Amino acid sequence: MTENIGLEPKEKNPQSAGLRERLALQMRKNGPMSFRQFMAEVLYSPDGGYYASLSAGENAGIWLPWVSLGGIYTSFSAGEDDYITSPRVHPAFGAMLARLFARIFPYLSPGPGQIVEFGSGRGLLADQFLAELKQASPDLYTRTTYFASDVGDSTTGIEGVHSLPPWGPSLELFPVKGLIFGNEFLDALPVHRVLFRGGRLREIFVNWSEAGFVEIEEDPTTPELEHHFSRLGLRPPPGQVVEVNLEALVWLRAVASALQQGLILVIDYGESAETLFSELYPSGTLRAFSKHTVQSDPYAALGQQDLTSDVEFTSLVRIGEELGLKATGPVTQASLLLSLGVTSLFRNLLCPEKPSLSDLKNNLALSNLLHPQSFGGYQALMLSKGIPEKALEILVR
């Protein structure tokens, strides 16, 4: 039995209209698709998907030009984008992750190290990371190889960065000794949207009608969804829609298998399962971003807006521990950056004279990385293998 629970308006943008028509044709031919499949199409399809458009340069990013570490950043791309991430706020973000790598490296077995970044975008974070490593730890820099994975070849041409194919369950990873991480990566993976009705688990599908896209409820596409709630021992209130990111758990299992020794780091916005499945989020956390504005309609501007949902960290911790990893955190991004010494980059805070405009902008950007209502409130989870607990305990103080 299906239930009609939403209609959406027509598209005006030509590219969005083309993607909309292709999906509508597919639904008319094959029937409804799960929301997870719909989200994968509008984000990652090479034929009009959002991230495919980004990699083709249709939405060039804004790099905030008012900050510099040692004069490293002197030129910036212009244009519009739909959101800002921590590396664009201040290059200290990538520099602090390089410090984290330098901190754990002495505890690894002898030999070269590897960095693997997922969701690397145009390579800004990689550039910051390697610049800090080269300046502060030149010997470690020469013994480290940086790999970046994302849609397209956005990092091609960045010194010291080796491109990997985008993440997918079929991606074959090599043994890694070092750091595997993603900054705002897991939140963009396609999610299942589900709810419990009459004691039964139902999944939201998307179908096409003359009025547009319509959401319907069907039986779950995979028994893993039911198993997910059984493992957690939690259920949302009846009728409440929640997101389940099974692909994040597939990713974690894959990178945990590749990690020989070192650290997996996830930085993202999210909460515990208990919080996300509570009445605080009666409609879930799915939302769209377009031109720095949060949108509530995932069916508008197909391929022209980002879709995202909060990361559920409880399952990441539990699966990580089942795989033999040691969980540290999650802690806030602010706590992680503070423990790595980010305050040393504030300028002239106690200067009796009027601070320069450059210092003010630098300090404002750093504060944005730390503010609990901004990037500082993001969560950072570290899952380690073969690293003494004492090497990481300072990061959670």
Domain assignment present for residue 3? The answer is no
Domain assignment present for residue 9? The answer is no
62-66, 106-110, 161-165, 242-246: which is most confident: 242-246
Return the axis-axis angle of helices 92-104 and 124-136, rounded to nearest 10°. Answer: 50
The CATH number of the domain where 167 resides is what?
Answer: 3.40.50.12710
Whether 62 has a pLDDT exceeding 50, the answer reads: no
Task: Please calculate the CA angle 206-212-218 and round it to the nearest 5 degrees.
Answer: 20
At 330 the pLDDT is 96
Euclidean distance between CA atoms 365 and 113, whole angstroms:
31
Domain assignment present for residue 38? The answer is yes
Q: How many domains are there within the chain?
A: 1
Domain assignment present for residue 133? The answer is yes
**pTM flag (> 0.75):** yes
Residues facing 375 on adjacent strands? none
Q: Domain range spanning residue 370?
A: 14-396
Whether 42 has a pLDDT exceeding 80, the answer reads: yes
CA 159 from chain centre, in angstroms, equals: 24
Task: Please calculate the CA angle 66-293-85 and round it to the nearest 5 degrees.
Answer: 40
**Of 241, 319, 315, 227, which Cα lies nearest the Cα of 277?**
241
Euclidean distance between CA atoms 199 and 366, whole angstroms:
48
Domain assignment present for residue 140? The answer is yes
Q: How confident is the model at residue 154 (pLDDT cuts 50, 70, 90)?
A: low
